[in-house]
Amino acid sequence: MSGHTTVSLAALQNVAHRLRIDSIRSTTEAGSGHPTSCLSAAEIMATLFFGEMRFDPKNPRHEQADRFVLSKGHAAPILYAAWAEAGAFDRDELLKLRTIGSDLEGHPTPRLAFVDVATGSLGQGLCAAIGTALNARRIGSDYRTYVLIGDGESAEGSVWEAAQAAVFHRLDNLCAITDVNALGQSRATQWGHHMEEFARRWRAFGWHAIVVDGHDVAALLAAYQEARRTKGQPTMILARTEKGKGSSQVEGKDGWHGRPFKKGEEADAAVAEIEARIVRTDGTLPIAAPPGRASASAAPNPGRMPAPKYTKGDKVATREAYGAALAALGAVDPRVVALDADVGNSTYSNAFAAALGDRFYQFFIAEQAMVGAAMGLAARGAIPFPSTFACFLTRAADFIRMAGISSVNVKFAGSHAGVSIGEDGPSQMALEDLALMRAVPNCTVLYPCDGVSAERLVAAMAASSGPAYLRTSRPKTPVIYEASEEFPIGGSKVLRQSDRDVATVVAAGVTVFEALDAHDRLARDGVAIRVIDAYSVQPIDAATLVASGRATGGRLITVEDHYVAGGLGDAVSEAVAGERIAVHRLAVREIPRSGRPAELLDRYGISAAHIVSAVKTLQQD
Amino acid sequence: MSGHTTVSLAALQNVAHRLRIDSIRSTTEAGSGHPTSCLSAAEIMATLFFGEMRFDPKNPRHEQADRFVLSKGHAAPILYAAWAEAGAFDRDELLKLRTIGSDLEGHPTPRLAFVDVATGSLGQGLCAAIGTALNARRIGSDYRTYVLIGDGESAEGSVWEAAQAAVFHRLDNLCAITDVNALGQSRATQWGHHMEEFARRWRAFGWHAIVVDGHDVAALLAAYQEARRTKGQPTMILARTEKGKGSSQVEGKDGWHGRPFKKGEEADAAVAEIEARIVRTDGTLPIAAPPGRASASAAPNPGRMPAPKYTKGDKVATREAYGAALAALGAVDPRVVALDADVGNSTYSNAFAAALGDRFYQFFIAEQAMVGAAMGLAARGAIPFPSTFACFLTRAADFIRMAGISSVNVKFAGSHAGVSIGEDGPSQMALEDLALMRAVPNCTVLYPCDGVSAERLVAAMAASSGPAYLRTSRPKTPVIYEASEEFPIGGSKVLRQSDRDVATVVAAGVTVFEALDAHDRLARDGVAIRVIDAYSVQPIDAATLVASGRATGGRLITVEDHYVAGGLGDAVSEAVAGERIAVHRLAVREIPRSGRPAELLDRYGISAAHIVSAVKTLQQD
């Protein structure tokens, strides 16, 4: 809006005072929290919410509304205070801060309608803000994204990944503010109040940087205006502030991070000191409305993806099928976007890029920014598929953790899983990705073995709610399913069975073929086994596993191209925990080395030969 | 050395030619690999190894030798070629590249004596190099550290974390070189050959930056010399190169990343083209010896840490005991160093800082650089303890993965584990850290419940080989062990037992006290249970678990302040997999929220009350 020039500066300053008081009162009542980190940001928050942003306090998720991301999530109390001040909810609620019955948690989560992504793990907000800014471009909106970051968190590398990505994507609809209060948790920050240290870095990375007094409401308003006028590049407003500003007990003092004022005299004095600064002004501050109308029907009506085109016996890598499916899905659903970290020609997301380049976002080798942006996109209605080598998703593990807490629809795809990649060696082999992803309790974890299941599972994960992960493999594998086969999440496929089965082998991905091979070898010796393709690792098909375990003498063997901890074996084991079934795990148990795929499968104990001997050993028990 | 002015430039250029030829031949023979990424770096490698660095090819681990870290690990073939050229091993070995019998893996690992840390996950080498540079300071050596990074990997945030840390620590013994070959894997890099884009960034971050022609051996030698003369700050040499340099088939061409030359005509032509450039020179290039003598006794003789000073019933948080133990250990063992990410007053590593400030390294809020530096320190004989909130170690998950591949002695400590932290909310609660750490197959995972066990386990992890992790808790808990108690890795403590036990409850950390409480509650109803403190989660005490499971009717209940996937329950389940024992897991199964610790333990199903009802339910089975 341009209306802020008419806003009363005194009224804005009063808002800042009130936000300070609310931050003190709520943290004192909670007995924990970070009031001094709120106090430094009071003028920034007051001017953003009541002099700059366009939003609807009664409909914070309005698709055209400007976005605000509080990257320094420990300042949550002032975020809550700002929304209460705006009328989103009753101010009295603030005193329930951090209690189990309230959604006003210690750090913001999307349990609150006005929070897009959970913050509190520092250095993530700017990445998410890139996502919300890219989303504006996707839906053709001129809404803007604002993000408040701390000076301390500027040490996180993810901030500089985001700095690069925002410039590469020319996000002039993005305005970041750094609250330079000079004090970290345990000590002064690296750069203290040397504002030029910040400005030099941001300018070197290609941002328009503005240094202002962060307690000067007029200067802040002018900076926002300058940011809006800045075209072709994002703006960073570097606001010099004092931690604990407004309370002489704590202002600029070290040792007050994460410490509330004590109830009684200490808190009362702080509140009184600030209250005394409130001046009389007339009327209330108007809040600027979102720039456009919210769509009557936000729910899209995507087309149905065509069936896979493979026929049984075709040889195709699941990563290749992923790329094909992603492009097909994107063609019928405008919400689908793809994000890459310079490996699109390995993950095959380049198939999407070729067809739908305007919804393909390149992040170069910066996995944290890629995943963070995906979180922001998902929070705004997109269905983002960030993909890279599965092992390099580990680089963004903390972002994946926060995606879980945010419950956003990010659809991760990791290629080159396991020792089956062969010669590149252990640094390129994901052998802990299932553990990582299963440890996100609301994350769907899928692991196809062939082209048909890979394609079907891409569609299934897009339709699912919350984060999901698809694990793909490097080698070509034969197509074993008819193109018409369905793969519901939580299901499995029993590939071989007879009423003479002495054991059940549960496999997924490349080990399905080892299990089928073992089946045939054992059959030649007159031994029958059941073979299950556990393509849905989380949720896993407990009913089928239990039934198969019972039917095969309580003998379950899992075989996975993954370390033994946290993967398929553990998932199966938990699924059958109610039964007295022994789960025998075949998995990688040491750091592997380079070699040919088949050599490695055998050396690390997950080949058909190992399955055969496991069956024979269990038979003798 | 200053002797390089006498080195024949023609001889150095010949070395570069030979390294190119070796890189082509070995990757062609392997049928995979990244020759073009080697070719761009040939003059850099030749001049570093034969005109600048001081080392002993027959004793690469010499404690005074200059270090070289190949951060762009996919250029491994030229690293191997350089060491072969130096005489470390026979050149014929190069043709075994990437085969299962050779340690010349696809990406470098410390299976090779001349590799300090595994690389191949981009953006980590500079962090590790900070560690080796800090180690020189620790041991009072003037050895220097060189690190070669790729231009593509400069997009990784970890590189910029390292950029900050190197400046903060004034590491003028660190010289980085960026191989600016302008081509990434899937496309041109962000900045191509715009050398000023790089120089501006590095200078803004406080480095001395030098732009050179990366194929000009004289210019490279001069740059190294300038770096050696530069005091008080690290140097970044920005070398403009061509990917595929030297072979007209591929030089500067996109689409050749990770593609070897085809055996036969294609490879032969490339080799012949380079061979033709080799000129006659006299003599061989001398290699500069390390600046000091290797210690006769590299094995230190650390003192023994005093016993903990707690008495039973004292209330102390395990995180606090960690800090006390770390300081006590550091006092008796000069190899022990501590690394912090601005939370030393929460993890209590500030106890170490107060006593041993010169071995306490602050990384501010940059967990990747902290862990990467710890890897470098460990590779050079230090015993580094990086610590932060356990949830924020997740930020460095990919570094932890690579620490496992490197098998380095990094001793991670994560505080504030689980929902028992209370009001701060899910973003601050580590609930997947056990899954993450257990998925590093050579990582010891420890989880003390009281002050005595915490202190003892700090000493045990320092004495152990390879990576280790200590999980500590926020709340104060009562001391339950005598100060003289020993806690061997792989052990456990049976805290309650009788011959009437109907079930075994396996707990660790804060849940030990819930289990003890449940024991007492059940005892009042005449029901006896066995209680085990599984302080060693990996390796876990399988013998005791199996024996207890058998003795208590095959009923095992695990209870952990962690998500159900990948933690204690899975560890116990795998340990008893050979038995037909049902493991009933009590664990957190959804994203938690803010609240009081006791409220959260109960709400998420891991309190004494839940243990009591689990025992009663199992009894009825």
Distance of CA B609 to the CA centre of its chain: 40
B117 → chain A, closest CA residue: A427
B441 has a chain A CB within 8 A of its CB: yes
Query: Tokens representing B326?
Result: 């770390």
CA separation, residue B552 to residues A416, B107, B500, B528, B619 (Å): 44, 49, 8, 10, 10
CB A44 within 8 A of CB A37: no
pLDDT at A2: 42
Which among A392, A402, A435 has the least Cβ separation from residue B427? A402
User: What is the Cα B82 distance to its own chain's centre?
Assistant: 25
pLDDT score of A6: 53
Q: What is the largest CA-CA distance in chain B?
A: 93
Please check whether residue A538 is in contact with residue A568, taking contact to mean a CB–CB distance below 8 angstroms: no
Relative orientation angle of helices B367-379 and B157-168, to the nearest 10 degrees? 70
Q: Does B593 touch chain A (CB under 8 A)?
A: yes
Phi and psi (nearest 5°) for B417?
-75, 140
Rounded to an integer, what distance in angstroms lies between the CA atom of residue A321 and that of residue A342? 19
Residue A458 backbone dihedrals phi, psi, to 5 degrees:
-60, -45
Calpha distance A178→A240 (Å, rounded): 8
CB contact under 8 A, B435 and A566: yes
Query: One-letter amino acid identity for A609?
Result: A
Q: Which residues contact A381 (CB under 8 A, 6 or more apart)?
A: A63, A135, A139, A298, A335
Pick from A607, A304, A310, A560: nearest CA to A454? A310
What three-state secondary structure class fits B338?
A: strand
- Sign of the CA dihedral A35, A112, A284, A224? positive
**If you write DSSP's letter for every residue of A229-293 in order, what string do you get?**
H--SS-EEEEEE--TTTT-TTTTT-TT-TT-PPPTTHHHHHHHHHHHTT-----S-PPPBPPSSP
B200 at interface of A, judged by CB pairs closer than 8 A: yes
* A282-314 pLDDT per residue, tens: 767 889 999 877 665 455 677 889 999 999 999
Model confidence, pTM? 0.97
Comparing CA positions, the residue from A151, A200, A400 lying closest to residue B365 is A151
pLDDT value of position B10: 94
Radius of gyration (C-alpha) of chain A in whole angstroms? 27
Q: What is the mean pLDDT of chain A?
A: 96
Residue A340 forms contact with B (CB below 8 Å): yes
Q: Record the tokens describing residue A49, joined without a space.
A: 């919410």
Interface A-B: count of C-beta contacts within 8 A: 343
Chain B residue whose CA is closest to A75:
B424
Backbone angles phi, psi at A570, to 5 degrees: -65, -40
Smallest CA-to-CA distance from B20 within B338, B209, B242, B229 is with: B242
> For chain B, which residues score pLDDT lower than 50?
1-5, 297
| Nearest residue to A42 (alpha-carbon basis) of A18, A59, A25 | A18
Contact A348, A323 (CB under 8 A): yes
> Among all residues of B, which ones are annotated catalytic?
367
Token output for A540 = 């896993």
Q: Considering only CA atoms, which of B539, B592, B531, B538 is closest in space to residue B561?
A: B592
Q: Using a CB-CB distance cutoff of 8 angstroms, which residues of chain B are in contact with residue A584?
A: 577-578
The CA dihedral of B134, B136, B140, B144, to the nearest 10 degrees, is: -130
Q: Is B85 helix (H, G, I), strand (E, B) or coil?
A: helix
Structure confidence by residue, pLDDT tens digits, A473-531: 999 999 999 999 999 999 999 999 999 999 999 999 999 999 999 999 999 999 999 99
Phi, psi of B194 (to 5 degrees): -75, 85
Q: Which residues contact A216 (CB under 8 A, 6 or more apart)?
A: A43
Cβ neighbors of A425 (< 8 A, separation 6 or more) are A592, A593, A594, B98, B105, B106, B107, B109, B120
Tell me the pLDDT tens digit for each residue of A160-176. 999 999 999 999 999 99
* Residue A446 near residue A413 (C-beta atoms within 8 A): no
How do beta strands A555-563 and A536-538 pair? unpaired
For chain B, the straight-line distance linking the first and the last C-alpha, in angstroms and rounded, comes to 76
Which residues in chain B are closer than 8 Å to A566, comparing Cβ atoms?
A: 435, 438-439, 565-566, 570
Q: Which of A153, A155, A204 sits opposite B164 (nearest CB)?
A: A155
**Interface touch A594/B189, C-beta < 8 Å:** no
Residues of chain A neighbouring B110 (CB-CB closer than 8 A): none
What is the distance in angstroms between the Cα of B120 and the nearest Cα belonging to chain A?
A: 6
Secondary structure, 3-state, A391-416: HHHHHHHHHHHHHHHHCCCCEEEEEC
User: Which amino acid is located at A181 in the chain?
Assistant: N
Please check the confidence at residue A563 and state whether its pLDDT lies above 80. yes
- Could you read off the pLDDT of A394-453 as tens digits, one per residue? 999 999 999 999 999 999 999 999 999 999 999 999 999 999 999 999 999 999 999 999
Contact B392/A at CB under 8 A: yes
CA angle B129, B135, B136 (to 5 degrees): 95
Q: What pLDDT shows up at residue A293? A: 74
Chain B nearest-CA distance from A347, in A, is: 11
Contacting residues of B for A559, CB less than 8 Å apart: none
Question: Is A203 at the interface with chain B, CB within 8 A?
Answer: yes
A362–chain B nearest CA distance, Å: 10
Mutate to test the interface with B, among A342, A389, A433 (most CBs of B within 10 A): A342
What CA–CA distance (Å, rounded) separates A585 from A593? Answer: 21
- Taking the Cβ of residue B590 and every Cβ of chain A, the question of whether any pair is shorter than 8 Å is answered with yes
Whether the CB of A392 is below 8 Å from some CB of chain B: the reply is yes
Which pLDDT score, from 0 to 100, does residue B5 have?
A: 46
Nearest-Cα residue of chain A relative to residue B196: A204
B414: β partners: B388, B471
Token pair 């050149």 in the structure block, residue? B91
User: Within 10 Å of residue B555's Cβ, how many Cβ atoms?
Assistant: 23
C-alpha span between A364 and B285 (Å, rounded): 39
Instruction: Quote the DSSP letter at residue B596.
Output: -
Contact between A427 and B187 using a beta-carbon 8 Å cutoff: no
Per-residue pLDDT at B1: 40
Residues in B closer than 8 angstroms to A119, CB to CB, are 427
- Rounded to whole angstroms, how far apart are CA atoms B352 and A262? 30
Nearest partner of B393 among B489, B318, B468, judged by Cα: B468
CA-closest candidate to residue A419, choices A609, A608, A595 = A595
Q: A160, A389, A506, A579: which to substitute to probe chain B, counting the most B Cβ within 10 Å?
A: A160
Of the candidates A106, A362, A436, the beta carbon closest to that of B424 is on: A106
Beta strands in B399-541 (DSSP E): 411-415, 444-446, 468-471, 476-478, 493-496, 503-507, 529-533, 536-538
Residues 308-337 of B with CB under 8 A from A: none
Packed helices B125-139 and B157-168: angle between N→C axes, nearest 10 degrees: 20
Contacts of B181 in chain A (CB under 8 A): none
Flag whether residue B96 sits within 8 Å of chain A, measured between CB atoms: no
A350 interaction partners in chain B (CB closer than 8 Å): 186
Q: What are the distances in angstroms from CA A444 to CA A117, A410, A467, B243?
A: 19, 10, 6, 40
Average pLDDT over residues A54-69: 97
- Separation in Å, CA of B277 to nearest CA in chain A: 31
Q: Which of A107, A190, A599 sits opposite B164 (nearest CB)?
A: A190
Instruction: Considering only the beta carbons, identify the residue of A153, A205, A342 that sits closest to B186.
Output: A342
Amino acid identity at A60: P
Tell whether B130 lies on the interface with A, counting CB pairs under 8 A. Answer: no
Subunit contact A423:B344, Cβ cutoff 8 A: no
Instruction: Tell me if B395 and A152 make a contact (CB, 8 A cut-off).
Output: no
Q: Which of A367, A432, A514, A560 does the annotation list as catalytic?
A: A367
Contact residues on chain B for A388, CB-CB shorter than 8 A: none
Kind and range of the H or E run holding B561 = strand B555-563
- Nearest-neighbour CA in chain B from A120: distance (Å): 6
Closest approach of chain B CAs to the CA of A464, in angstroms? 17
Helix or strand (DSSP H, E) at B360: strand B360-362
* Rounded to 5°, angle at Cα A55 from A53 and A57: 125
What pLDDT sits at residue A337?
Answer: 98
Taking CA–CA distances from A124, the nearest residue in chain B reads B395
Interface check for B453 against chain A (CB to CB < 8 A): the answer is: no
Residue B1 and residue B288 in contact, taking contact as beta carbons nearer than 8 Å = yes
* Strand, coil or helix: A155: helix
Higher-confidence position of A579 and B297 = A579
A618 vs B: CB within 8 A: no
Q: Quick check: ipTM above 0.85?
A: yes
What's the token pair of residue A454? Answer: 């890979």
CB A442 within 8 A of CB B590: yes
Q: What is the pLDDT of residue A300?
A: 65
8 A C-beta contact, residue A176 and residue A147: yes
Judge: B342–A152 Cβ closer than 8 Å, yes or no. Answer: yes
Q: Which residue of A has its CA nearest to B537?
A: A565
Find the CB nearest B365 among A107, A155, A538.
Answer: A155
The full DSSP string for B159-198 is HHHHHHHHHHTT-TTEEEEEEE--B-SSSB-SSTT-HHHH
Are the beta carbons of A121 and B395 separated by less than 8 Å?
yes
Rounded-to-integer distance, Cα B478 and Cα A592, Å: 42
Round to whole Å and give the CA distance between B79 and B75. Answer: 7
Tell me which chain B residue has its CA closest to the CA of residue A538.
B565
Q: Give me A557's structure tokens.
A: 């063997």
Mutate to test the interface with B, among A71, A126, A401, A564 (most CBs of B within 10 A): A401
